[in-house]
């Protein structure tokens, strides 16, 4: 083990390090180079600690720590299993890359309040890791709320009226759904089962039946507003007013991943696949997910603002994870877990590219991108790889996750799910490929700004994440092994 620490100690260290880094960021705020050095050093340290836990989880260990007993049988506790390990690895791996990108973006655009930005980013990473390590619903809920509150200042970072309005929408929807729906669902679960622990196979078998179990499922699925199931999705496009590194945090590193992670975790460890498979009318979740996938893709097709197009693309891609979960087959759960990884590296690449385009050219609309590939070849090459992963075309990692989801749909004869995947894949191609074609094969519009690539740190970061979409297709061993362990646990 790293530094001679146990797995339990490493889990706690991974949670503490970002907070210590946040303090260091505040103390060094007047010295930008030192502040950013603290950010990168902390992010790399968290990455090393989190990744040192992977061998233990793959070996079948499930380290757990209880910090505080709130009531008899109800505690603030952490327990690491394959799904949590996968989410934690994604967040830890992308944080240093996002930090590198942030340095180029925030300096290149001369953004204000950079110390505040890096501080709340560190707090958000702690919250994401807390969700990943949560051993029960109480712990998950606490860190879920911390993630919402710590990302609000990031969404409203610019301080303009538009930014503050977006922040209010963001905070309003996520807090309303979590307090109004998720919290009652958690209290109800405690009342009927006497526990909130995450247990393979679920804790509700024989505790609730029929319509009541469907109502509880409804409260959980729509209470997790971060999963952006329609119609609980407006916060996501509203938040696009934030700086691009925040958009990347929202879409790839922490926030939406916390949402779909929570959906998969609750279906597996609170309800259990066996319980849901025997439940009449449980298909409603699949219908809602399929509707979200297709409608979000249609809306994305109509968006000329690049970040809004990517935002609606994210809603559709999150729908894939919920759809795969709603198929209720172990192989589709493997696909759901893998798609969390695939979407993370693909979508962060796309947002990095959008931010680099804005930084270098101040262009924000799809219709302005004719010929930009000649000025920004590295950025647009990376964008192309990210787009191919989102479409699900080999050799990009998005193909692997979609393959498992499609196999789950075939295995369970869920033809609606299969149809939604096919239609949305075509729509993904329809809203991404014209951007790529225009960037490389159309002539630039006259009168544009003379520019080249964005600052080097931003371009380096987006090239790294673009390469990951390709490398994870060729070498998917670790995420696939963790995802397959998840599939085994739900059998």
pLDDT at residue 1 is higher than 60: no
Phi and psi (nearest 5°) for 413?
A: 55, 40
Residue 35 is assigned to a structural domain of this protein: no
136 secondary structure, DSSP code: B
pLDDT for the residue numbered 163: 80
Q: What is residue 274's predicted lDDT score, i.e. its pLDDT? A: 85
> Which residue, 426, 483, 433, is CA-closest to 293?
426
* Token pair for 264: 């998969």
Domain that holds residue 425: 283-491
CA distance 358 to 244: 9
**Residue range 63-74, pLDDT digits in tens:** 989 888 877 778
Query: What is the tens place of the pLDDT at every residue in 317-340?
Result: 999 999 999 998 889 999 999 999
Distance (Å, whole) CA 308 – CA 303: 6
What is the average pLDDT across 97-118? Answer: 79
- Of 346-350, 354-358, 452-456, which gets the smallest average pLDDT? 452-456
Give domain status of residue 261, yes or no: no
- Do the domain assignments include residue 47? no
Decide: 361 and 375 in contact? Cβ < 8 Å: yes
Give me the pLDDT at residue 207, please: 80
Query: What is the mean pLDDT of the segment spanning 333-361?
Result: 90
Q: What is the pLDDT of residue 19?
A: 93
Confidence (pTM) = 0.92
How would residue 381 be classed by pLDDT, with cut points 50, 70 and 90?
very high
* Whether pLDDT at 489 is above 80: no
14 in a domain, yes or no? no
3 falls in which pLDDT band (50, 70, 90)?
Answer: low
Dihedral angle, C-alpha 158, 164, 169, 174, nearest 10 °: 70
More confident call, 179 vs 256: 179
Q: Is residue 325 part of a domain?
A: yes
pLDDT digits (tens, 9 = 90+) for 22-37: 999 999 878 888 888 9
Domains in the chain, number: 1
Residue 155 lies in a domain: no
Instruction: Evaluate whether residue 390 is within a structural domain.
Output: yes
Q: What is the pLDDT of residues 447-480, one digit of tens each?
A: 667 778 888 888 898 999 999 999 999 998 999 9
The predicted structure's pLDDT at residue 2: 63
Q: Examine residue 288 and state whether it is found in any structural domain, yes or no.
A: yes
């Amino acid at each position: 083990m790293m530094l001679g620490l146990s797995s339990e100690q490493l889990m706690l260290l991974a949670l503490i390090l970002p907070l210590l880094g946040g303090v260091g960021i505040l103390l060094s705020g007047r010295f930008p180079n030192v502040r950013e050095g603290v950010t990168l050093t902390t992010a790399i340290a968290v990455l090393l600690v989190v990744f040192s836990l992977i061998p233990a989880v793959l070996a079948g260990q499930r380290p757990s720590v209880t910090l505080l007993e709130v009531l008899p049988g109800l505690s603030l506790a952490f327990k690491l299993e394959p799904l949590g390990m996968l989410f934690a690895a994604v967040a830890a791996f992308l944080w240093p890359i996002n930090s590198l990108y942030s340095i180029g973006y925030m300096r290149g655009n001369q953004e204000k309040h950079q110390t505040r930005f890096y501080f709340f980013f560190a707090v958000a990473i702690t919250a994401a890791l807390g969700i990943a390590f949560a051993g029960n619903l109480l712990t998950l809920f606490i860190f879920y709320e911390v993630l919402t509150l710590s990302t609000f200042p990031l969404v409203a970072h610019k301080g303009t009226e538009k930014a503050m309005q977006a922040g209010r929408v963001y905070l309003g929807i996520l807090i309303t759904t979590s307090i109004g729906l998720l919290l009652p669902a958690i209290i109800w679960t405690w009342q009927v089962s006497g526990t909130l622990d995450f247990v393979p196979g679920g804790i509700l078998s024989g505790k609730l039946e029929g319509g009541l179990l469907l109502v509880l499922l409804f409260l959980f699925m729509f209470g997790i507003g971060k999963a952006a199931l329609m119609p609980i999705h407006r916060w996501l496009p509203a938040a696009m007013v934030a700086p691009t590194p925040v958009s990347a945090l929202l879409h790839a590193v922490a926030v939406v991943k916390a949402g779909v992670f929570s959906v998969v975790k609750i279906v597996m460890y609170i309800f259990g696949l066996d319980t849901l498979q025997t439940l009449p009318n449980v298909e409603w979740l699949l219908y809602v997910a399929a509707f979200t996938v297709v409608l979000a893709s249609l809306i994305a097709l109509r968006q000329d603002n690049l970040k809004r197009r990517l935002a609606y693309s994210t809603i559709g891609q999150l729908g894939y994870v919920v759809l795969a979960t709603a198929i209720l087959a172990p192989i589709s759960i493997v696909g759901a877990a893998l798609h969390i990884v695939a979407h993370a590296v693909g979508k962060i690449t796309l947002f990095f590219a959008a931010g680099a385009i804005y930084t270098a050219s101040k262009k924000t609309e799809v219709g302005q991108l004719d010929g930009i590939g000649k000025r920004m070849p590295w950025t647009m090459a990376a964008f192309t790889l990210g787009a191919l992963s989102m479409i699900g075309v080999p050799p990009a990692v998005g193909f692997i996750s979609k393959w498992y989801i499609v196999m789950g749909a075939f295995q369970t004869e869920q033809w609606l799910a299969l149809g939604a995947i096919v239609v949305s894949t075509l729509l993904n191609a329809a809203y991404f490929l014209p951007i790529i074609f225009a960037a490389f094969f159309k002539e630039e519009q006259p009168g544009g700004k003379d520019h080249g690539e964005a600052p080097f740190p931003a371009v380096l970061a987006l090239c790294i994440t673009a390469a990951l979409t390709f490398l994870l297709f060729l070498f998917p061993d670790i995420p696939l092994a963790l995802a397959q362990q998840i599939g085994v646990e739900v059998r």
